[in-house]
Chain A
Amino acid sequence: MAALTEEQSMIRDQAKSWVTEQSPVQKFREMRDKDVDGSYFPETWSAMVDMGWTGIIVPEQYGGSDLGYLTFGVILEECGRQLTASPLFASALAGASALLVAGNEDQKQAVLPKIVDGSAIVTLAVDEGPRHDPAGARLKAEKSGDGYMLTGDKTFVLEGMTATHFVVSARTGGEGEQGITLFLVPATATGVSREQVRTMDSRGYANVHFDGVEVGADGVLGPVDGGYPLLEQILDRARAGMGAEMLGTAAQAFDMTLEYLKTRVQFGKVIGSFQALGHRAAMLFTQMELARSCAEAALQAIDENADNVAELTSLSKAKVGDFLHDMSNQLIQIHGGIGMTDEYDAGFYLKRARLLETTFGNQAFHRNRYAELLNF
């Protein structure tokens, strides 16, 4: 485990000042109140593209800077702090990872540069029911001419309304982990329809329907029937990236709470002088330090192509998830009545926390997976 490099620290500082100045949580509130189409401001997205954030994990030959996942995590953490709304995570991390892991050279050349310049928004369409279940794909892909015809539904697709492409897991045979194939499907393909899902955290989610969608052979990502191991790798990269975003959201909730403990006066004292609250803050801080180590370790393992990426990713998603869960509850509890009001930002963090927890597997999912990986 290494400390952040100088370059990563510099990127953190830049990200922090941009996010705080240009896209603070007030901007998120404005987006929610105005019910902006697509759930983010286009100018936020283009600014991110201009800063090169969309190319962080993309190799230079496809227009990126190839700085790696830990560096991307640093940026996502800062975005998570201010709930900055954008397709950055969905496309430049998860979507780009799908191409990097499963794409052939032609597919990479066709799509990655567009992810980097922001003209393509590629997102994962994996789940079909209320629980994360990557091996449970039922969306059918049947041989049709040179390619396949896709029929079925995907739920809870991140940035699904603005996506230009979906990475779809489909069943080409078998059951469970066998017989899954990944497809890259343009949102404009005939037979694709989508509707917005209004989640409590005002993030852009959609349900997407595939009604006899024809996909050419060039739309198959990776081996036919052998897509599951690749899907797991892609999901692990997404989960590890999400771990960083979750850490940021939780760290901001911690900072807000600590500030309140130092300023709110009751019984003639700041409430942080009460031991019950001082200890609670100390324990949350301890939890945060432990969670940070897990989040960084998972991202670093991806960069180093380590053999325990899956284990560390589940560790990260579960430990950061637990911390975010507890922290978001304490954010409300310690703020008391003010934390219950919509006028205050605390509720945004609580709502976002639960969405992040459930996306790509909640803590229970990842504890179970961790146990399976450790063979018990």
Chain B
Amino acid sequence: MANEALETFRAEAAEWLKNNFPSTLAGKGMGIEGEMTEDTRADWETWRQRLTEKGWGAPTWPKEFGGAGLSHPEAKVIAQEMGKIGAVNHIPLIAGMGVTMVGPTIMEYGTDDQKARHLPRIASGEIRWCLGLSEPNAGSDLAGLSTKAEIDGDTFRINGQKVWTSGADISQWCGALVRTDSNAAKRDGISFVLVPMDQEGIETRPIKLISGASPFCETFFNDARTDKSELLGPLNQGWSVVKRLLQHERQSQTQAGTPRATGSRKSLQEKAKDYVGTDAMGRLADADLRNRVARHLMDAQAHSLTIGRITAEARGNVEVSAAASILKNSATFVAQTRAELNLEIAGSQGVGWEGDHFSAEELGNVKDWLFGKAMSIYGGSFEVQNNIISKNILGLPETTQKD
């Protein structure tokens, strides 16, 4: 799209936002449960309905599925214009894994009926989705999963346990990877099914993490049911469906190292100067720390330049690509290093757990640091990404055992 047309679109978007975004919500967080105040609840709902009518909950989706059929550059313009007025598109957040992962996968593999039933209600934020992938004995080796789905009349009967099902306790639907053929080779006997969460056979239990409360759950399937029409993709070919889904996941996790994704307004180097002090030359007083802060800032800049370069080389449309593994590992490294530096810089103020002795930011940094350890584990661990890079990009032989 030519720049001129994009600027016209920008003006239209700004105008629409001015007329439709409830000003009471400006800068009022992300509009998610547990965070919004009671007096803003009605306005959030109004905002959700207006976004839905406009198709801007999932702006790049086709109009028939509740999107607005916009290009990626146009969607970016909307996000930028929202940022300017303190607005946020909260639909991808209240839809859980719906907009970012389940939706794109249904669009690719779903039947017309599945698309018509599920996609509009994801794009509108009415239905929250979770994902049932990992199991206690199937983490990085996801294909080793054992939750079983047996055909029983018109339904699948599901038994087993999933773990790390983010938001399972508040979701209405779950995309689950299940074993449908125990005799086939492990990647060949897996199917992807869509399961309604509101039923007796499903029980969820939130998981407390090293960082405290978390969105993660254990989810137990005990003769849970879903209709046969909820099979996504062909029977026993769920492995290719989930591989695609995980590419969408990596894609959504590549931004972690960019400045926008970090919390504090003050730069890391300014914070370091506050806590550590400077020498006569104005340099950070701790030379070793100064060197490592410089390294980190360089890594962060290199990461965001790489996102820019890969986006440009993909002509503005970064579809799920092999580069996602590189970016995920780089984003993780940058974010984890930053979290470590945040702690180290603050010294004994950087190790608090609760109480008035520590500022909210200091306590937040501790939680972020702890939770950040998950970044190199979830969505395909650091090591799994390196397997993908060495095999799919570099063409080296498979490094993991297939059985």
Assess whether B323 is interfacial by the CB under 8 Å rule: yes
B330 to chain A: which residues have CB within 8 Å? 286, 290
State how many angstroms separate the Cβ of B166 from the closest Cβ of chain A: 26
Interface set, chain B 322-373, CB cutoff 8 A to A? 323, 326, 329-330
State how many angstroms separate the Cβ of A175 from the closest Cβ of chain B: 16
Contact A293 B399 (CB under 8 A): no
Chain A contributes a number of interface residues (CB within 8 A of B) equal to: 39
A-B contact pairs, 12 of them (CB 8 A): A262-B395, A275-B400, A278-B391, A279-B387, A279-B399, A282-B390, A286-B389, A367-B291, A368-B294, A374-B297, A376-B278, A376-B284
Contact A278 B305 (CB under 8 A): no
Assess whether B319 is interfacial by the CB under 8 Å rule: no
Q: How far is the CA of A289 from the CA of B309 in the complex (A)?
A: 10
B290 to chain A: which residues have CB within 8 Å? 371, 376
**Interface code B299-320, partner A: CB below 8 Å = 1, 0 otherwise?**
1011101101100110100000
Q: How far is the CA of A139 from the CA of B34 in the complex (A)?
A: 69
Q: How far is the CA of A268 from the CA of B303 in the complex (A)?
A: 38
Contact A261 B302 (CB under 8 A): no
How big is the B interface, by class? 35 or more
Q: What residue in chain A is nearest B396 (Cβ atoms)?
A: A272
Q: How far is the CA of A1 from the CA of B391 in the complex (A)?
A: 28
Assess whether B224 is interfacial by the CB under 8 Å rule: no
Q: What residue in chain A is nearest B383 (Cβ atoms)?
A: A279
Contact A273 B397 (CB under 8 A): yes
Q: How far is the CA of A289 from the CA of B330 in the complex (A)?
A: 10
What 4 pairs across the A-B complex have the smallest Cβ distances? A278-B390, A1-B308, A282-B389, A376-B269
Assess whether A36 is interfacial by the CB under 8 Å rule: no
Q: What residue in chain B is nearest A369 (Cβ atoms)?
A: B294
- The listed residue (A289, A318, A367) touching B326 by CB distance below 8 A is A289
Interface set, chain A 272-293, CB cutoff 8 A to B? 272-275, 278-279, 281-283, 285-286, 289-293
A262 to chain B: which residues have CB within 8 Å? 395-396
A269 to chain B: which residues have CB within 8 Å? 397
B102 to chain A: which residues have CB within 8 Å? none
Contact B309 A371 (CB under 8 A): no
B312 to chain A: which residues have CB within 8 Å? 1-3
State how many angstroms separate the Cβ of B94 from the closest Cβ of chain A: 33
Q: How far is the CA of A289 from the CA of B393 in the complex (A)?
A: 12
Assess whether B386 is interfacial by the CB under 8 Å rule: yes
State how many angstroms separate the Cβ of A135 from the closest Cβ of chain B: 14
Q: How far is the CA of A315 from the CA of B295 in the complex (A)?
A: 9
- The listed residue (A258, A279, A289, A376) touching B272 by CB distance below 8 A is A376
Assess whether A297 is interfacial by the CB under 8 Å rule: yes
Knowing A290-B306, A315-B302, the reply to whether A371 touches B386 (Cβ < 8 A) is no
Contact B269 A261 (CB under 8 A): no
B284 to chain A: which residues have CB within 8 Å? 371, 376
User: Which among A1, A269, A281, A292 has the highest number of chain B CB atoms within 10 Å?
Assistant: A1
Assess whether A294 is interfacial by the CB under 8 Å rule: yes
Contact B306 A289 (CB under 8 A): yes
- The listed residue (B270, B273, B386) touching A278 by CB distance below 8 A is B386
Assess whether B205 is interfacial by the CB under 8 Å rule: no
Q: How far is the CA of A364 from the CA of B313 in the complex (A)?
A: 31
Q: What residue in chain B is nearest A291 (Cβ atoms)?
A: B302
Q: How far is the CA of A367 from the CA of B396 in the complex (A)?
A: 34
Q: How far is the CA of A290 from the CA of B306 in the complex (A)?
A: 6
Assess whether B5 is interfacial by the CB under 8 Å rule: no
Q: What residue in chain B is nearest A279 (Cβ atoms)?
A: B386
Contact A293 B309 (CB under 8 A): yes
Q: What residue in chain A is nearest B306 (Cβ atoms)?
A: A293
State how many angstroms separate the Cβ of B39 from the closest Cβ of chain A: 42
Q: What residue in chain A is nearest B269 (Cβ atoms)?
A: A376
State how many angstroms separate the Cβ of B346 from the closest Cβ of chain A: 16
Q: How far is the CA of A125 from the CA of B1 in the complex (A)?
A: 48
B283 to chain A: which residues have CB within 8 Å? 371-372, 376
Contact A374 B269 (CB under 8 A): yes
A290 to chain B: which residues have CB within 8 Å? 299, 302-303, 305-306, 330
- The listed residue (A281, A286, A364, A370) touching B396 by CB distance below 8 A is A281
Contact A272 B298 (CB under 8 A): no
Contact A278 B396 (CB under 8 A): yes
Contact B399 A376 (CB under 8 A): no
Contact A371 B396 (CB under 8 A): no
Knowing A370-B298, A371-B283, the reply to whether A296 touches B309 (Cβ < 8 A) is yes
Q: How far is the CA of A269 from the CA of B398 in the complex (A)?
A: 12
Assess whether A375 is interfacial by the CB under 8 Å rule: yes
Assess whether A319 is interfacial by the CB under 8 Å rule: yes
Q: How far is the CA of A292 from the CA of B330 in the complex (A)?
A: 14
Assess whether B282 is interfacial by the CB under 8 Å rule: yes
Q: How far is the CA of A41 from the CA of B393 in the complex (A)?
A: 38
State how many angstroms separate the Cβ of B232 from the closest Cβ of chain A: 31
B395 to chain A: which residues have CB within 8 Å? 262
Q: How far is the CA of A364 from the CA of B295 in the complex (A)?
A: 10
A285 to chain B: which residues have CB within 8 Å? 326, 389, 393-394
B309 to chain A: which residues have CB within 8 Å? 1, 3, 292-293, 296-297
Q: How far is the CA of A1 from the CA of B315 in the complex (A)?
A: 11
**Interface code A1-37, partner B: CB below 8 Å = 1, 0 otherwise?**
1110000000000000000000000000000000000
Q: How far is the CA of A296 from the CA of B309 in the complex (A)?
A: 9
Contact A294 B305 (CB under 8 A): yes
Q: How far is the CA of A205 from the CA of B313 in the complex (A)?
A: 38
B399 to chain A: which residues have CB within 8 Å? 273-275, 278-279
State how many angstroms separate the Cβ of B383 from the closest Cβ of chain A: 7
B308 to chain A: which residues have CB within 8 Å? 1, 293
- The listed residue (B270, B302, B313, B385) touching A3 by CB distance below 8 A is B313
Q: How far is the CA of A29 from the CA of B372 in the complex (A)?
A: 49
**Interface code A335-376, partner B: CB below 8 Å = 1, 0 otherwise?**
000000000000000000000000000001001101110111
User: Which among A269, A279, A282, A371 has the highest number of chain B CB atoms within 10 Å?
Assistant: A282
Contact B294 A367 (CB under 8 A): yes
Contact A270 B397 (CB under 8 A): yes
Assess whether B241 is interfacial by the CB under 8 Å rule: no
Q: What residue in chain B is nearest A320 (Cβ atoms)?
A: B302
- The listed residue (B297, B326, B383) touching A370 by CB distance below 8 A is B297
Assess whether B178 is interfacial by the CB under 8 Å rule: no
Q: What residue in chain A is nearest B295 (Cβ atoms)?
A: A367
Assess whether B293 is interfacial by the CB under 8 Å rule: yes
